[in-house]
Amino acid sequence: MHGRKRFPVGQTPDKSKDQAKREKLKKLLSETLQNHHDRCYTKEALQKNAQLLELNPEFYTGWNYRKLAVRHLFDVETDETVRKTILDQELQLVERALQSNVKSYGAWYHRKWVIEFGLSSLDHEFMLLKKLLKVDSRNFHGWNYRRFAIKKKGTTAEEELDYATEKINENFSNYSAWHYRSTLLSSVIRDKKSKEEILDEEYKLVNQAYFTEPDDQSAWFYNTWLLGETNSRSDAGPHVVGSWPENGSIISVNIQDGAFPLTVSYKTIVNSEQTFTTGALPLVITLDKMVSSLAATVRVEPEIGNPSETTWRPLSAVRVPSKTWVADLPISSSSEGKYTVFLEVSSPTVGEVTSVSFNLEITSGDPGSRKETDRETFSWPGKSASAGELEADTTAKLERLDICGPTAEAGCTQDTTELKRANWQEKLLEAQIEILRDLLELERNSKWPLLTLARVLAAHGSTSFTDEVLELYKLLSDINPDHGDYYKAQYSCLYIDKVTRSADGLKKLWWDCQGSLSSGWLRWNGLGLHEFKYVERLLWVQRLDLSHNRLRTLNGLEALQLLEALDVSHNKLPSVTSLASLRAVRSLQYLNISHNEIGSHPVDTSRYSFPSALTNEVRDHLGERDGSWEIQAVFGGMKLKVLAITGNTAASDEQFRKSILKALPSLKLLDEEEV
């Protein structure tokens, strides 16, 4: 264990000394607790407490007792000189305690508490920190206390950067110093307009570090932070990156016999005609950043209903802030005609307005109805012979789909990923690409240069680099198999990025099928995906196959407000709460979560993403004490008709199945059996 003294083989510690120490600690502990109970703050009592803390600085009650004692002495004594002496004695005690354990939380917290009185010299604190970080340059308590001290002293970030540079030059492997430097520069970059010059100098420093120690990870981590700063938009945002209906699209709405629901038809980017029924026409806006409120207006020409009263609501597991917002466009039964709808989203931080417009055609009459899906006609795409066999190896499947072919940009209704970069950003990224390639000439097949080159090329965003990045991740999987899953995940995400940029790319994963549920499925099955990305390009999707991947959460899927059928079987979903985002998808009727890990884990590690139903108040409100309250919180209110749960550990639990049936009164089929 850390901090435990080791003895040579054959040599045993002197247990008599340990026994004497234990007895002394036991006595001091008893006396301190008694004095604490009696509120005794005499000089003798404080001396015994000090002896205890010097021997064991992890005794938090001892520090709390001293805080009460100091407050008591301050109430009695009014002379500032005497008060300062009392505080100086506390600081001296902390120094002695730190000699026993330099990483004692209680001791460092007590020192901060004393300094907050404002009567102690900060120069002494910096001198103490200089000694500490010279002996242990990566002591996180020391770095954290230094941040506290410079804030109290009023030292600027620019002045403190010199110290960070000094520590880095002493040792390029000092990750703590690199991290400290990034926290300082974050504020400097926000406050100054010379971002280009600052980042250029930082790249020179980090380049020197990894040319000197190419296998040390500290500089490479810092380089990743620099890359994020370089690739960030020069304006604050937020910006619209996706919408439904898409800009320039044509939406047909039919109101049968003047009654609701509406029948909505539209053509997708893959030239597939999609139809769905709804009570109101949804409008979806996706941003590149989370916001707590959406400043968006809806205008219809000629006027229809009262669009100015359209209310936008957030779509996220934690309500707000959110990247995706949805509203319902009011349509009345007497609104037959052709209209143009304008969505205008403003960004107060940069004064920018993004406009999206689409054509709306409202008709009345009988549009034809879809046949109700039942047991005889319903099947998931993974079970259909015409869907093709799944590839066992993800990389082989991606290669079979010809990912290395040229990316066709034609056909996209809008480019949702293109960053507005300044010339200096392009130059910095291109300079780093050349430097990394030069380093790889010296360090062939070295993990960190290869990984960083892949990240920089991907950040550059040019489609001409896509194939090279893919090859780099394949090479990394071979030379560093211990992290093979990570490289495969990056490889798959890059592939999805590529194919979703164009209609031609999306057609590679589009499956036209025949049947009642269907004008087609988008099949992202068997791609080794660890997360669902680029949702802003798929807002039009109604049927999505994400089976045979490695998903542990469905965060992001809430943006797909038209989603009717979802297959996430054969993934790694750990619990019911990992499905939380689906609560916001009102159109979802068919869900396959079979062959996941629901019920296999005694601890639900996905609860952090589902905070709204984790409080005791919500659980008590639902009246569930047997653990099924998560089922009610997730599935309650959903309109599922078909649900598949077989293959999960929880599926064999009769109480689990009963709770699902209770939460889903609309369910018709559960694991292909009629309810």
The top-scoring range by mean pLDDT among 125-139, 307-321, 339-353, 600-614 is 125-139
Residue 1 pLDDT exceeds 60:
no
Answer whether the bond into residue 602 is a cis peptide, omega within 30°.
Answer: no
166: which DSSP letter? H
Domain 510-674: assigned CATH number? 3.80.10.10
**Which one-letter DSSP state was computed for residue 524?**
-
E-state strands within 160-258: 240-244, 250-255
Tell me the residue ranges of DSSP E strands in 93-142. none
Percent of the chain beyond pLDDT 70?
80
DSSP string, 533-571: --GGG-TT-SEEE--SS--S--TTGGG-TT--EEE--SS
User: Tokens in use for 388?
Assistant: 């093709």
Residue 21 confidence (pLDDT) above 70: yes
Please tell me what DSSP assigns to residue 239. Answer: -
Provide the CATH topology of domain 394-418+432-499.
Answer: 1.25.40
CATH of domain 240-368: 2.60.40
Instruction: Tell me yes or no: is domain 17-195 CATH 1.25.40.120.
Output: yes
Mean pLDDT over each residue of the chain, to the nearest integer: 82
pLDDT in tens, 87-106: 999 999 999 999 999 999 99
Rounded mean pLDDT of 28-35? 92
Cα(553)–Cα(581) distance, integer angstroms: 9
Residue 560 pLDDT more than 90?
yes
**What's the pLDDT at 603?**
65
Residue 429 has pLDDT above 60, yes or no: yes
DSSP-based three-state secondary structure for 164? helix
Q: What one-character-per-residue DSSP string does 386-439 give?
A: GG-PPPSSHHHHHHHTTTTSPPP-TT-S--SS-----HHHHHHHHHHHHHHHHH
Q: What is the pLDDT of residue 311?
A: 86
pTM higher than 0.85: no
Are domains 17-195 and 394-418+432-499 of this chain identical in fold?
A: yes
Are residues 174 and 138 in contact, defined by beta-carbon separation less than 8 angstroms?
Answer: yes
Window from 512-521, 608-617, 657-666 with minimum mean pLDDT: 608-617
Q: DSSP E strands: which ranges in 460-520?
A: 510-511
d(CA 319, CA 322): 7
Question: Residue ranges of the domains in the chain?
Answer: 17-195, 240-368, 394-418+432-499, 510-674
Residue pair 224/182 in contact by the 8 Å Cβ criterion:
no
Structure tokens at 431: 């300079």
pLDDT tens for residues 443-473? 888 899 999 999 999 888 777 888 889 899 9
Q: What is the pLDDT of residue 418?
A: 43
Please give the radius of gyration of the chain, using alpha carbons only, rounded to the nearest integer: 31
pLDDT above 80 (res 7): no
